[in-house]
Amino acid sequence: MIVLGLEGTAWNLSAALVDERDVIAEDHSTYVPAKGGIHPREAAQHHAEHMAKVVRSVLSKAREMDRMPEAIAFSQGPGLGPCLRTVATAARALALRFDLPLVGVNHCIAHIEVGKWRTGSRDPAVLYVSGGNSQVLALRRGRYRIFGETLDISVGNALDKFARSVGLSHPGGPKIEELALCAKQYIPLPYTVKGMDFSFSGLSTAATEAARRHELADVCYSLQETAFAMLVEVTERAMAHAEKEEALLVGGVGANRRLGEMLNLMCWERGARFFLPDKGFMGDNGSMIAYTGLIMLKSGVVTPIEQSKVIPLYRPDDVEVTWA
């Protein structure tokens, strides 16, 4: 089966074509604000302007290879309302135009499924960390249950906010990672794990304060060490609780080598396996939506047009996993 997937929950608009084995084509376009953070309506405008171009690009590649889509998948949520609506409208138009089945995909679950697909992980505890989300999940009784999550902002947002406050450009994560490599000492910062949940807002503010008195590299390093230790602690407890022998890291912050290293060490110490997808599948991408749409469709899930309304606060545990 060949599925065309559309992703555009926030910054990145991406279209991709996949089959069961691999990605056939992918193209994307990223919204860059004139200044500051994301402006939902401007981002949606960007997606509307570039939609035809990215879709045409993957379809022309498909035509060259004589492999046309048999279904349309789109990210139905969670995400920014205006962005989601733009993508859903394009997906409906394509489904109607080519008379193809439509399937609405949960964006968080797509991160997990593409991670499993690309790494061969079968039944992991998942750490999903991005600019919009920070969650620890695992499959249990037919759903991806959330074992722990942030009580305020996501870890990616905490990194980006701190970065902006010290004059680094967006996205801050990669710049913090780079600077942290030059650190000479650890500066204590607030470590906040409550039960199975974590909080990053106070940590980000404390790091901004610390940067007034300390070397920036030392603060970047300390911010990473503290935030990632919190994430690793909760992931480890979820593995023990849910009896999972594997851990999988997904989402844009997963590109951070230090976080991968810390999770790998934790897994090694408990005799578990750690899985890390290639960088191209970590951040938001159309392939993850296309692939998840494909496995959903094969299990019999279709989204009729009248049920294709976007769901800005769509939670992964709202979805019954019919394809496992």
SS3 106: strand
130 contributes a contact to Fe ion by CB under 5 A: yes
Binding mask 227-266 for Fe ion (x = CB under 5 A): ----------------------------------------
Size of the site for Fe ion (CB under 5 A): 2
Question: Smallest Cα–Cα separation from 206: which of 231, 179, 187?
Answer: 187
3-7 sheet: strands from edge to edge: 23-30, 12-18, 3-7, 71-77, 102-106
Binding mask 169-208 for ligand ATP (x = CB under 6 A): --xxxx--x-------------------------------
Task: From 27-35, 207-215, 234-242, 250-258, give the range in contact with ligand ATP by CB under 6 A.
Answer: 250-258
User: Which residue type does 39 have?
Assistant: H
Nearest distance in Å: CB 206, ligand ATP? 18
The sign one gets for the Cα dihedral 105, 111, 115, 121 is negative
CB-based contacts of 118, cutoff 8 Å, min separation 6: 277, 278, 281
197 binds, among ligand ATP, Fe ion, none (CB under 5 to 8 A by kind): none
Cα(80)–Cα(107) distance, integer angstroms: 12
7 contributes a contact to Fe ion by CB under 5 A: no
Residue number with CB closer to Fe ion (113 or 284): 284
Cα(317)–Cα(200) distance, integer angstroms: 23
User: 324 near 295, Cβ under 8 Å?
Assistant: no
Site residues (CB under 6 A) for ligand ATP, limited to 112-171: 130-133, 156, 159-160, 171
DSSP 61-86: HHHHTT---SEEEEEEESS-HHHHHH
Angle, CA of 89, 87 and 43, to the nearest 5°: 125
316 contributes a contact to ligand ATP by CB under 6 A: no
The sign one gets for the Cα dihedral 315, 321, 322, 324 is positive
156 binds, among Fe ion, ligand ATP, none (CB under 5 to 8 A by kind): ligand ATP
Among 284, 286, 295, 319, binds Fe ion (CB under 5 A): 284
Q: Among all chains, which residue has been given the structure tokens 């407890």?
A: 237
312 contributes a contact to ligand ATP by CB under 6 A: no
Nearest distance in Å: CB 123, ligand ATP? 22
5 contributes a contact to ligand ATP by CB under 6 A: no
User: 74 near 91, Cβ under 8 Å?
Assistant: yes
Angle, CA of 78, 80 and 86, to the nearest 5°: 105
Nearest distance in Å: CB 79, Fe ion? 8
Nearest distance in Å: CB 133, ligand ATP? 4
221 binds, among ligand ATP, Fe ion, none (CB under 5 to 8 A by kind): none
H-type alpha helices, the chain: 40-64, 81-98, 107-119, 155-165, 172-180, 201-210, 216-242, 257-270, 286-298
Nearest distance in Å: CB 66, ligand ATP? 33
211 binds, among ligand ATP, Fe ion, none (CB under 5 to 8 A by kind): none
Residue number with CB closer to ligand ATP (69 or 170): 170
Residue number with CB closer to ligand ATP (53 or 279): 279
Per CB under 6 A, residues contacting ligand ATP are 9-11, 79, 107, 130-133, 156, 159-160, 171-174, 177, 251-253, 255-256, 283-284
Task: Write out the residues near Fe ion by the rule CB under 5 A.
Answer: 130, 284
